[in-house]
Amino acid sequence: MQYSTIINMQNTPSKYINKTFKIRGRVGSNGSAYHYMSGTDATNCCNWSIEIRVVDSSISYPSTTNNVIALGTYKSSKVNGRTSYYIQVSDFM
């Protein structure tokens, strides 16, 4: 269900904006400002990934090797005329 939900969030984002989600996966980073979570589906052949952002300075991103659960709200932002969607994380478990 997690894979399907994330795919649907990315295909029809307007239905999921400002909704709260709990996502289990691995945290990754491009080494600087961009962080994401990723995982696979039930057959381990299809992958999903979604950008995550932490705005509360008291919360830090977990190590990129950990399998974590992130709790957050699905948000959108517009940069240079392009809309991007991400999970604004309120907590890592």
Is residue 69 at the binding interface for other proteins, with CB under 8 A as the rule? no
Q: Which residue pairs, CB below 8 angstroms and at least 24 apart, start in 6-15?
A: 6/48, 6/50, 7/48, 9/50, 9/74, 9/85, 10/50, 10/85, 13/74, 13/76, 13/85
Q: How far is the CB of 6 from other proteins (least distance, A)?
A: 10
85 binds other proteins, rule: CB under 8 A: no
Contact 57, 35 (CB under 8 A): no
Task: Examine residue 21 and tell whether it contacts other proteins (CB under 8 A).
Answer: no
Q: Which of 14, 18, 30, 43 binds other proteins (CB under 8 A)?
A: 43
Tell me if 15 contacts other proteins by CB under 8 A: yes
17 touches other proteins (CB under 8 A): no
CB-based contacts of 1: which residues, under 8 Å, 6+ apart? Answer: none
Note the residues at the interface with other proteins (CB under 8 A): 1, 3-5, 7-8, 11, 15, 41-43, 45-47
